[in-house]
RNA sequence: GCAGCAGUAGCUCAGUUGGUUAGAGCACUAGUUUGUGGAACUAGGGGUCGGUGGUUCGAAUCCACCCUGCUGUACCA
């Protein structure tokens, strides 16, 4: 690299975007195959919608209407603004509205797709990530809400999490609505500030939340956050509400009954679960991990939830007049991958190819013959992709973690018995071509 | 966005109060071994010290601004 490097394209990635390597992708594939299997079992339809939508299809449901395009990546196509989707729920609402007459009602669909958020990234948190969504549209039945939780739990356990490693926290927007009535808050901004404060109880504890409900709070770095300015007697009422051990709203009482019928008990009633969204109208879920997650320096980090959801009875109605009450749940797959990879006992099998070394270009036909036989037997096999000294070829095989190499030089070709070298223990044996596949299977 | 900390080789870092040609380990390349990887030894390549401007006889080191990263915080459909 010389002076010219200034003229060369940057090898840096845009903020919040990452290359994902095989190890991670295989874990992701493992999770996806579990999801698909369970979705079929639960009877959801598979759907894909495009990455881009017209901005007004997703933008006009933003909670803060005063800054409609903040947080999304957008560009102007001809004269219309389009944006990369920021979740899979808004596109679902658009899809349901567009296809309302054709789709079954209720409509159950699941979707796997990349979403983009123009926000500051954090550990295990990117500006481009894969999300899984499952929703019921067109039913008010609480059976749907309950089943979503049971289903998520089945997915997590299928992926290797034990009951003690995760919990689904549940609350209802109805609880906070009643609370607001009780303490007489009507102003929307104050409601939002209050909800956001409550949402932080995990991290800040009640004392921090109390500060945010009152005048405000100074964080570790010295930054100051303005509070909701509630009266201390109202804060007292909120504190009492948060202490409740069991729900007194009808929806949650019903949902918990259904859980019992499913024998599902890995949930927790938690009135501090808020999920910040304005569009939720009933039950709210949040999927939390119960073990520490660390960054690549080994420090424990604030990881937050790996997914959540809830009931949103009015969202589809934003596109017109539809009878489409809905409930859904989503998981951030990359966050689940990140967390899963931290579990020591978690392993995903990677099959690496057996490498056939190249001694002499004129013997290519012989190498190909061995390759065809092994591939036919279902063994991942490659002829060394290059022209190097044997030492280089061995180093290559070692580097890609190949289980074995096949040495098929002049002498071996003459006798029809290639040498199989086990790269884990260095042992070599000379084997007839037609017995090669079976021998290799013993090694793998 | 706000705040704190930090940017020296591909990676992890050292670099003394400003002083010649900027160092180490790992990785990489070549060789010791022209049919044998993971060990050892030898040699080698690789840096406008994040960028720009300033102070100075002299800056990786001091100052200003900018960029990037980490952590917290805000926002998070």
Q: Give a yes or no: residue A33 inside a domain.
A: yes
How many angstroms separate the CA of A212 from the C1' of B61?
Answer: 44
List the one residue out of A416, A421, A395, A391 whose CA is nearest residue A406.
A421
What is the predicted pLDDT for the residue at A67? Answer: 42
For residues A311 and A250, state if they share a domain.
Answer: yes
d(CA A436, CA A359): 19
Report the nearest residue to nucleotide B34, CA vs C1'.
Answer: A389
The domain containing residue A403 runs over which residues?
354-443
For residues A129 and A262, state if they share a domain.
Answer: yes
Q: What's the structural domain count of chain A?
A: 2
What does DSSP say about strands A354-356 and A404-407: parallel, antiparallel, or unpaired?
Answer: parallel
How many angstroms separate the CA of A426 from the C1' of B43?
Answer: 29
What is the predicted pLDDT for the residue at A279? Answer: 83
Q: Which of A340, A363, A387 is the last residue of a domain?
A: A340
CA angle A304, A181, A284 (to 5 degrees): 30
How many angstroms separate the CA of A124 from the C1' of B67?
Answer: 24
What is the predicted pLDDT for the residue at A51? Answer: 94
CB-strand contact A399/B, under 7 Å:
yes
CB-strand contact A421/B, under 7 Å:
yes
For residues A281 and A359, state if they share a domain.
Answer: no
CB-strand contact A90/B, under 7 Å:
yes
For residues A312 and A178, state if they share a domain.
Answer: yes
How many angstroms separate the CA of A343 from the C1' of B23?
Answer: 39
Q: Torsion angle of alpha carbons A158, A161, A163, A166, nearest 10°?
A: -120
Q: Give a yes or no: residue A298 inside a domain.
A: yes
CB-strand contact A129/B, under 7 Å:
no
Q: Give a yes or no: residue A207 inside a domain.
A: no
Which nucleotide is closest to A409, CA to C1'? B35
Q: Give a yes or no: residue A379 inside a domain.
A: yes
What is the predicted pLDDT for the residue at A52? Answer: 92
For residues A329 and A362, state if they share a domain.
Answer: no
Q: Give a yes or no: residue A429 inside a domain.
A: yes
CB-strand contact A407/B, under 7 Å:
yes
CATH at residue A420? 3.40.50.800
Task: Output the 3-class SS for chain A.
Answer: CCHHHHHCCCCCCCCCCCCCCHHHHHHHHHHHHHHHHHHHHHCCEECCCCCEEEHHHHHCCCCCCCCCCCCCCEEEECCEEEEECCCCHHHHHHHHHHCCCCCCCCEEEEEEEEEECCCCCECCECCEEEEEEEEEECCCCHHHHHHHHHHHHHHHHHCCCCHHHEEEEEEEHHHHHHHHHHHCCCCHHHHHHHHHHHHCHHHHHHHHHHHHHCCEEECCCCCEEECCCCCHHHHHHHHHHHCCCCCCCHHHHHHHHHHHHCCCCCEEECCCCCCCCCCCCCEEEEEEECCCCECCCCCECCCCCCEEEEECCCCHHHHCCCCCCEEEEEEEHHHHHHHHCCCCCCCCCCCCCEEECCCCHHHHHHHHHHHHHHHHCCCCEEECCCCCCHHHHHHHHHHCCCCEEEECCHHHHHHCCCEEEECCCCCEEECCHHHHHHHHHHHC
The interface pTM score, or ipTM, of the predicted complex is 0.82
How many angstroms separate the CA of A15 from the C1' of B64?
Answer: 26
Q: Give a yes or no: residue A238 inside a domain.
A: yes
Q: Give a yes or no: residue A157 inside a domain.
A: yes
Q: Give a yes or no: residue A423 inside a domain.
A: yes
Which parts of chain A sit beneath pLDDT 70? 1-10, 59-70, 123-124, 221-222, 276-277, 295-299, 301-302
């Amino acid at each position: 690299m010389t002076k010219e490097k200034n003229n060369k394209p940057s090898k840096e990635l845009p903020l919040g975007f990452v290359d994902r390597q095989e190890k991670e992708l295989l874990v992701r594939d493992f999770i996806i195959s579990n999801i698909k299997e369970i979705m079929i079992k639960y009877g959801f339809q598979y759907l894909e919608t495009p990455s881009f939508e017209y901005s007004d299809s997703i933008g006009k449901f933003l909670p803060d209407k005063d800054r409609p395009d903040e947080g999304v990546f957008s560009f102007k196509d001809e004269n219309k603004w389009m944006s990369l989707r920021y979740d899979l729920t808004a596109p679902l609402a658009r899809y349901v509205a567009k296809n309302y007459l054709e789709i079954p009602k209720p409509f159950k669909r699941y979707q796997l797709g990349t979403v983009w958020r123009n926000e500051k990234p954090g550990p295990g948190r990117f500006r481009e990530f894969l999300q899984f969504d499952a929703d019921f549209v067109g039913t008010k039945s609480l059976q749907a809400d309950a089943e979503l939780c049971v289903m998520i739990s089945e997915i997590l356990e299928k992926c290797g999490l034990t009951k003690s490693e995760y919990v689904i926290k549940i609350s209802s927007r109805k609880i906070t609505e009643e609370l607001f009535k009780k303490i007489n808050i009507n102003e929307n901004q104050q409601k939002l500030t209050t909800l956001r404060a409550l949402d932080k109880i995990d991290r800040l504890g009640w004392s921090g939340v109390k500060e945010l409900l009152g005048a405000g709070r100074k964080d570790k770095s010295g930054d100051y956050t303005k509070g909701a300015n509630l009266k201390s007697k109202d804060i007292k009422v909120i504190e009492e509400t948060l202490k409740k051990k069991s729900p007194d709203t009808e929806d949650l009482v019903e949902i918990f009954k259904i859980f019992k019928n499913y024998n599902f008990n890995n949930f927790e009633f938690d009135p501090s679960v808020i999920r910040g969204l304005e569009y939720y109208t009933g039950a709210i879920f949040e999927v939390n991990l119960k073990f520490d997650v660390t960054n690549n320096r080994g420090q424990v980090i604030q990881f937050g939830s790996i997914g959540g959801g809830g009931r949103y009875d009015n969202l589809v109605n934003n596109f017109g007049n539809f009878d489409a009450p809905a409930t859904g749940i989503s998981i951030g797959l990359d966050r689940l991958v990140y967390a899963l990879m931290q579990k020591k006992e978690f392993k995903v099998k990677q099959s690496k190819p057996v490498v056939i070394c190249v001694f002499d270009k004129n013997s290519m036909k012989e190498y190909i013959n061995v390759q065809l036989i092994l591939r036919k037997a279902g063994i991942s096999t490659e002829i060394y992709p290059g022209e190097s000294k044997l030492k280089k070829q061995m180093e290559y095989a070692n580097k890609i973690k190949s289980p074995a190499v096949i040495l098929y030089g002049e002498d071996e070709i003459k006798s029809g018995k290639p040498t199989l070298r086990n790269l884990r223990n260095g042992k070599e044996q000379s084997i007839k071509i037609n017995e090669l596949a079976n021998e290799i299977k013993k090694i793998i």
